[in-house]
Amino acid sequence: MTVIVRDVTAGDAEGFARVRRAALPFMLATAEQFAFEWAHAHPAGHERPLVAVTDDGGIIGTAQVRIAHDAPEPGIGSVNVYVDPAHLGRGAGGLLLRAAEEHLAERGARTLYSWVLDTPGDLAWAGRRGYSPSRSAYFLRLDLTTAALPPLQAPPAGVELLTAEDFAADPRPLFELDAVTTADEPGDVGMEMDDYAHWRATTWEHPLLDRALTTVAVVDGVPAAFSAAQTDGLGRYCSGMTGTSPAFRGRGLAKLAKNASLHRARAAGCTDAFTGNDTGNEPMLAINKWFGYEVAVREVRHVRTIG
């Protein structure tokens, strides 16, 4: 059966999500999500989502491809390839990677990053294609149906727990908090968030963002820490980002916000909670262990220099 690679169409969103859920079940993936992201891609990112399809039209692989326009240095691209486990060994991954690399090279990328699952087969596949291992990260899972969550505690004096819905009239304070916490998030490529309009259109309006479960710790009227929540309507909850403004660290505010969010998630009927952490982010790993999260799988960021 022949496999070809092509650009996505609007009708591919469900198949794209299906492959992602099969290949990486520790991240949320919905058709609505991908259709939204394709429609709101930043022009400077030169994003080009790709699918590998069989001659009967079935989608068996996907690739997310972009230039890191929000990185401080130019020439950085990323490509993440996923193939339905039921269709491995048919060349779909290699075809997707080749098309992605050509696209990125044409747009000035010289350093390419890709996440690879920490399995012997996946690591060998990346190595054969010139990619070298870099940093690593964990996907963690918490069974909300059985988890013994820490009891809810009253916030300390001067601290109030709000939800993202409370900022609906003006979410800019949450953008500013997100930007300052993202700035020192561990990673190979730094990020600078300075485009409020783009953040509002792509993060605040994102279909996975659950504003009722996203929890913000406010200190004397100032948003100080938050735990962003994503849900897919299938009982799955994901901590999109948990962080504290540097001026308020060391007070347990992120843990306070995340605990409240997890309790709200369980009350709302969520059964599985997922999150991800850089393996070197010991403070957040300790917090997640305290909640009862367990490592589900490890992935390794790989890098290749081209041109």
CATH number of the structural domain 3-109: 3.40.630.30
Distances from the Cα of 180 to the Cα of 21, 201, 210, angstroms: 31, 19, 21
pLDDT at 189 over 50: no
Residue 220 has pLDDT above 70, yes or no: yes
Q: Which pLDDT band holds residue 192 (cuts at 50, 70, 90)? A: low
Question: Is residue 131 scored above 70 in pLDDT?
Answer: yes
Residue 186 predicted with pLDDT over 70: no
* Residue 175 in this model has a pLDDT that exceeds 90: yes
What's residue 306's pLDDT? 92
Residue 143's φ and ψ, nearest 5 degrees, are: -85, 105
When pLDDT is cut at 50, 70 and 90, the band that residue 69 belongs to is confident
- The reported pLDDT for the residue numbered 13 is 98
| pLDDT band, residue 190 (cuts 50/70/90) | very low
**Stretch 127-133: mean pLDDT, rounded?**
97
DSSP 201: I
Share of the chain above pLDDT 90, in %: 87
| Average model confidence (pLDDT) across the chain | 94
According to DSSP, the residues that pair with 67 across neighbouring strands are 77
Query: What are the extents of the domains in the chain?
Result: 3-109, 142-298
Three-state SS annotation for 248-294 = HCCCCHHHHHHHHHHHHHHHCCCCEEEEEEECCCHHHHHHHHHHCCE
142-298 homologous superfamily: Gcn5-related N-acetyltransferase (GNAT) (3.40.630.30)
